[in-house]
């Protein structure tokens, strides 16, 4: 995992997921989790961008 990915996972989780997986279910789930609460979005981003 690159430094850029780690920084994006923390600051903008949906952008990090989009860069790796594109527009799809994973991105939409991460967007929803980030809107509900920042921390769930960050955790999900780290899990899917391993």
Residue tagged 């921390």 (tokens)? 39
What confidence score (pLDDT) does residue 50 get?
85
pLDDT above 90 for 31: yes
pTM: 0.90
- Determine the Cα angle at 20 with ends 7 and 23, to 5°: 115
For the chain, the residue count is: 50
Q: How far apart are CA 21 and CA 23, in angstroms?
A: 7
**pLDDT tens sequence across 36-46:** 999 999 999 99
Query: What percent of the chain lies above the pLDDT cut of 90?
Result: 96
pLDDT digits (tens, 9 = 90+) for 1-28: 899 999 999 999 999 999 999 999 999 9
């Amino acid at each position: 995992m690159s430094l850029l990915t780690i920084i994006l996972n923390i600051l903008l989780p949906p952008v990090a997921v989009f860069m790796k997986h594109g527009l799809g279910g994973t991105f939409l789930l991460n967007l929803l989790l980030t809107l509900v609460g920042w921390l769930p979005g960050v955790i999900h981003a780290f899990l899917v961008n391993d």
